[in-house]
Structure 1
């Protein structure tokens, strides 16, 4: 029975081992130093679609290697930086850029935090207006007389647990 389970598990294990993403092919820098500098600058502005928190300049993912190669090909073909960005956005969406453009689809991303702060401030202001601070009623003459009597008769004594830097202990 154990052999049968091992024989059935072996193909599944082999499939799992081969399903891992292959390593990215090594990068081939552009021969023109100015074009390679443009490509490197773009690599830092483009988000890896697999890692999502890394720029493709730092990502070891195969997709990031493909994106670097694509950017280099477009730059070598004479595309401007903006044309390369537009092509990446067309392929992968606005999320691929660390600083997406400001347009109707990204308003929430750009202005959402400010809107939340304004909304929270508005809610706090409305709650403060609805529940104004209640004024404390002054003491009646009878209450003032009793308070004076208690204060005169109360012998102030020192708390034995309290300490002061001036105690000299």
Structure 2
């Protein structure tokens, strides 16, 4: 059973697209504010929770599948984030992140899952079972969340490097 298209379907797709856009700007490498590492995981968590809430006739098995997917994604993301090389400017709260493609792939997967949910609502018939779509989104959110946590922990623990040039900023 699938609910018809509603505002939550549009917002889920919009949040997934914004998540992909924000992770895309980080994946190109360069210097970002430390707090910006948390934006894509927060958006991914919103998408995952909305998709979880959209499951009709939820059972404990559905919740366990969602939780296991989130934990599995988190373990893999934490490992990836911890292995990434970052440079940190603690004075200005800046982090130089490497050019990577893993965040883009996971962000794109989240958009695909949100679009599958949207298509299911549009057709009023499940393209893929809702619990599997929600579990996939939980995997993506767990991956992005703990990847960002790993990168943040690396940034906080690395020696200070000047990333903001006060002479060129004048």
- Structure number with greater Rg is 1
Superposed pair shares fold, TM > 0.5 = no
If each structure's helix is expressed as a fraction of its own residues, which one has the higher value?
Answer: 2
* TM-score normalised by L of structure 2: 0.25
Higher RCO, 1 or 2 (CA under 8 Å, sep at least 6)? 2
